[in-house]
Structure 1
Amino acid sequence: MKKTSARLADGREIVYYDLSDAAVRTAADRRPLPPAAAAPEIRHDPLLDDWVGVTAHRNVRTYHPPADECPLCPSRNGRLTEIPEADYDVAVFENRFPSFSGGPGPRTAHGGGLFTARPGAGRCEVVSFTADHDASFADLGEERARLVLDAWTDRTAELSQLPGVEQVFCFENRGEEIGVTLSHPHGQIYAYPFTTPRTARMLRSLAAHGERPGGDNLFDDLVANELAAGDRVVLDGEHWTAFVPFAAHWPYEVHLYPKPRVPDLLALGEEARTEFPQVYLELLRRFDRIFGEDQPRTPYIAAWHQAPFVRGRGAGAALREEFALHLELFTIRRAPGKLKYLAGSESGMNVFINDVPPEAAAERLREVAST
C-alpha cells in the first residue's frame, strides 16, 4: 500500500491509498473554495447522559446530485470534484460538512449549570472505495477490499492520536432507504470526542459479566455460545465468524468477529487481514441475494465497533483490552418492497420489535451462499 497526503483548495486533507507503489498523486485542487470553517457544538442531555451534535452548517450539504455532478468521482474532462486526481484506488478526505471538527475546548454552562455544551472536537472523513461511480463494495475484488481495510486501519491510527478524540468509528451506509445522499460507493469515519452511548453500554455489560461468579469475557462467551448453538451461524472461517445474533434488532443482521479477540483494527493480525476480503465480500453478496436476484440491491449499514482509546492506565484501560472488535452488518429491508421503520417503540422507547426470527434470517443467508 502506498499512502500519499495532500491538501484540497480550502485546506482540508485528502489521503490517497494505492495498490501500486509506482502511483504518483500530484494533481492540485483548482476549485475556488473559501477556507474550511465548520464550528460544530455538542450539548449534554442530562436525562440520558448523552452528547448530541448541533451542526447548522450541515443543512446545506450536497443532496442527491445527478451522476454527472458526483463530488466523489475523479476530476476529469474539466469537471472538478472533491478528488483532484483523474483516477484513484481509495481516497479519504476530510468531510466538507463535518459533524465533528477541530480541537477540544472548554465547557460552557447554561440553565444554572444543568445544561452544558462544548465544541464538537474531532474529525469526520469520507472514504471513497473506488473511482467507479456505478460499483458497490460487493463489486470490489479481494485486493481492493484489503486496501480499504488497510485504509480504515491507518485512519484509525491517525485519528486516535488527535487531541480530544476518544473513539474512532468506520462505517458505510448504502442505499437511499438508509438516507444516503451520495450514490457513489463510499463510507465515512467519525472521530468522536467522547465514548459513544452504544459502546459505553457494551463496556458496562462487559464489566458486569466479568464480575459474576464464573464470569469470563462476555464477547468470548457470546461467540462461543453462538457457535455451539449453530443455527444462527452464517459463515465460520478460519479467522472470522459471522452469525445472526440471538436477539437481533434488525430483520437481517450479521455480526462478524475475528479470531482471536482483539480490541480494534490496529491489533488485527495478518492472517485475519488476509481472510477478511473473502469473508466480507461473500457476506455483502449474500445480502444482495436475500430478496431475490430481481430486487434492487439491498440497503445496509456496515459498522465497525472498536474499543475507545483510553489514555493512561487503570480500570478503563484494562477494560479496553477486554473489548472485542467486530463489524455489524444489517439492513432495514424486511421483505421485498417492505422496510423496517423505527416507529413508536423503537424511536420513542428504544425497544426493538423484529418481524424476522434470527434463526430464519440465518437460514436464508446460508441459502444464498455463493456456489
Structure 2
Amino acid sequence: MTVSLLGAGVVKRATRLSDGRELVYYDDPDTSLGPDRAVDTRVLDPRPATATMRQDILTGDWISVAAARQNRAFLPPAERDPLAPQSPTNPSEIPSDYDVAVFENRSPSFGPALAAASGEVPACANAPRGDDDLAQLGLGRTRSSIGRCEVVCFSPEPSGSFGTQSATRARTVIEAWADRTAVLSALPGVEQVFPFENRGEAIGVTLHHPHGQIYAYPYVTPRTTRLLDSIDRTAPDLFARILEFEQAGPRVVLRGEHWTAFVPFAARWPIEVHLMPHRHVPDFAALDTDERDELAPLYLRLLRGVDALYDSPTPYIAAWHQAPVRAGRDTVRLTMQLTSPRRAADKLKYLAGSEAAMGAWIADIPPEEAADRLRAAVEGVQL
C-alpha cells in the first residue's frame, strides 16, 4: 500500500483489489480509522474486455457499446450493498472500513485498456489514434473504448448523498476529486475527466449508497466540443463574462468569496443551477486551498437547499464540467451544473418529441422564478 498526505490533512492510501483494479482510501483529517487496511481475498472472474465505440456518422459522436454493464447490481438490499465495507456475509468491493473510497468500476463504460504510453502505438487493438482520427467520418467506424471509470464512495453508510455528508467529509471528497482528476488526466489516451453524482431512482440510480462516479474519456465529449466552438465564436473570457452577467442579475442563488451559484439565463430544466469559481481554473486539481475550503460548506448548502424545495429528496445529476486534458485549458472553466427533472412535488419533466428527438427545449419554469424559490430554500439551510 502506498501512503501519501494530501491537502487539508487528508491521507491517501492506494492499494489493489484481488483482480488488479486500483482501490484508493482517502482518510478524513480527524479519522478514527487506523492505518491498516484488509487485503481483498475474493476470487473474482476476469475483468470484461474493453468495450467498443461505434461512430454515429450523422453527428460524428462516438457511442460506447458496453454490454457487460447489463450485469451490474440493481437496487440490492442493504445487507448486500456492494459499496459497503466487506463483512463475512457481504463480499463487497471494499475490503475495509473507510471514510472515502475510490475504485475502478468492475464493468466500465471505458477501459480498462489505455493507449500506449508513447501515444504513438495503441496498447490495444483498434484504440483511438488521436483527435484527427476520431474526427474523421465514415460508415462502420469502430474504436476501442479505452479510458477509466471509477466509483467514488462518499461514506460507508448504506444511504444518503453528497448533501448528507458533514463539512469535513465533503472536504475530503473534494480532495479526492482533485487527486483523481490529476491522476486520470495523466493516463495515456485520456482526453477529458468528468466527476459526477447521480441521485435518485428517477435519474436511474441503481444503488442507494452515497456515491458518485468519475469517467475518463478517450475523446473530448460532444457537450464540451460545442462549448469550445461557442468560445471560439465569442471570446476567450466567455466564462468571466457569464459570471459577471449572472452576478449582476436576479438569478444568483448563493455567493461566497470564491464561488457563485446561479440559475442560468437559459435554463432548460425545472431545477437547474450552476456553481462557478470566481477565478479561472480548468479543473479540480487547479483549485487552491481557499477555494477548496469554501466549496465544501457552500456546496452542501446548495444541495440541501435543493432538497428543501419539497418534502422528499429531489433527484438530480450534479455534473462537474472540467476543461479537457489538452484543449481549452485557458478558456474552459470548472463549473458544476446541477439539473433535475422535478417540476413539482409529484411531477417530473419527461423529454418527449421536441427535446428528445430534435434537441429543441421548452422550459416549464421561468429561470427567475426558479432562482427565487431556490434562493429562499438555501437561505433556510443550517449546516
TM-score after normalising by structure 1: 0.91
Instruction: State the distance in 2 between where 1:25 and 1:37 align.
Output: 30
Deviation of the 1:45 alpha carbon:
1.3
In structure 2, the partner of 1:235 is 254
Instruction: State the distance in 2 between where 1:290 and 1:321 align.
Output: 36
* Alignment match of 1:11 (pick from 20, 37, 45): 20
* Alignment match of 1:224 (pick from 209, 226, 244): 244
Deviation of the 1:113 alpha carbon:
4.8
- The reply to whether residue 38 of structure 1 matches residue 49 of structure 2 is yes
Deviations 1:182-201 (A, max 9, x none): 11000000000000000011
Task: Please tell me whether the aligned partners of residues 4 and 25 of structure 1 are also in contact (alpha carbons under 8 angstroms).
Answer: no
Task: Please tell me whether the aligned partners of residues 242 and 254 of structure 1 are also in contact (alpha carbons under 8 angstroms).
Answer: yes
* Alignment match of 1:208 (pick from 222, 226, 233): 233
* Secondary structure of residue in 2 paired with 1:115: coil
In structure 2, the partner of 1:360 is 369
* Alignment match of 1:90 (pick from 100, 108, 114): 100
User: Where do residues 147-166 of structure 1 align in structure 2 (5 Å cutoff)?
Assistant: 147-166=172-191
In structure 1, the partner of 2:295 is 276
- The reply to whether residue 114 of structure 1 matches residue 139 of structure 2 is yes
Deviations 1:250-273 (A, max 9, x none): 101110001212111111121111
Task: Please tell me whether the aligned partners of residues 15 and 24 of structure 2 are also in contact (alpha carbons under 8 angstroms).
Answer: yes
Deviation of the 1:39 alpha carbon:
1.9
In structure 2, the partner of 1:307 is 323
Deviation of the 1:10 alpha carbon:
1.5
- The reply to whether residue 26 of structure 1 matches residue 37 of structure 2 is yes
Greater shift after overlay, 281-290 or 38-47? 38-47
**Code of the aligned partner of 2:370:** A
In structure 2, the partner of 1:313 is none
Task: Please tell me whether the aligned partners of residues 47 and 107 of structure 2 are also in contact (alpha carbons under 8 angstroms).
Answer: no
* Alignment match of 2:329 (pick from 311, 320, 333): 320
Deviations 1:27-47 (A, max 9, x none): 011222122233211111121
User: Where do residues 131-142 of structure 1 align in structure 2 (5 Å cutoff)?
Assistant: 131-142=156-167
* Alignment match of 2:75 (pick from 59, 64, 77): 64
Deviation of the 1:57 alpha carbon:
1.1
With over 3 angstroms needed to count, the CA separation of the structure-2 counterparts of 1:25 and 1:40, relative to structure 1, is: farther
Deviation of the 1:119 alpha carbon:
0.5
Instruction: State the distance in 1 between where 2:36 and 2:358 align.
Output: 49
Instruction: State the distance in 2 between where 1:10 and 1:160 align.
Output: 23
Instruction: State the distance in 2 between where 1:113 and 1:334 align.
Output: 41
Greater shift after overlay, 151-160 or 259-268? 259-268
Deviation of the 1:67 alpha carbon:
1.4
Instruction: State the distance in 1 between where 2:344 and 2:198 align.
Output: 19
**Code of the aligned partner of 1:279:** L
Task: Please tell me whether the aligned partners of residues 38 and 98 of structure 1 are also in contact (alpha carbons under 8 angstroms).
Answer: no
**Code of the aligned partner of 1:217:** D
With over 3 angstroms needed to count, the CA separation of the structure-2 counterparts of 1:113 and 1:47, relative to structure 1, is: closer
Instruction: State the distance in 2 between where 1:133 and 1:242 align.
Output: 29
In structure 1, the partner of 2:314 is 298
* Secondary structure of residue in 1 paired with 2:308: coil
Task: Please tell me whether the aligned partners of residues 249 and 353 of structure 1 are also in contact (alpha carbons under 8 angstroms).
Answer: yes
Instruction: State the distance in 2 between where 1:25 and 1:91 align.
Output: 14
Calculate percent identity across the aligned residue pairs.
Answer: 53
With over 3 angstroms needed to count, the CA separation of the structure-2 counterparts of 1:30 and 1:78, relative to structure 1, is: farther
Instruction: State the distance in 2 between where 1:107 and 1:31 align.
Output: 31
**Code of the aligned partner of 1:245:** P
Instruction: State the distance in 1 between where 2:207 and 2:150 align.
Output: 14
Task: Please tell me whether the aligned partners of residues 127 and 146 of structure 2 are also in contact (alpha carbons under 8 angstroms).
Answer: no
Deviations 1:35-82 (A, max 9, x none): 223321111112111111111111111111111111011113442210
TM-score after normalising by structure 2: 0.88
Instruction: State the distance in 2 between where 1:190 and 1:297 align.
Output: 25
Deviations 1:105-143 (A, max 9, x none): 43699xx95331111000000000000112322121111
**Code of the aligned partner of 1:119:** S
* Secondary structure of residue in 2 paired with 1:287: helix
Deviation of the 1:165 alpha carbon:
0.3
Task: Please tell me whether the aligned partners of residues 199 and 316 of structure 2 are also in contact (alpha carbons under 8 angstroms).
Answer: yes
**Code of the aligned partner of 2:73:** T
Task: Please tell me whether the aligned partners of residues 160 and 208 of structure 2 are also in contact (alpha carbons under 8 angstroms).
Answer: no
**Code of the aligned partner of 1:176:** E
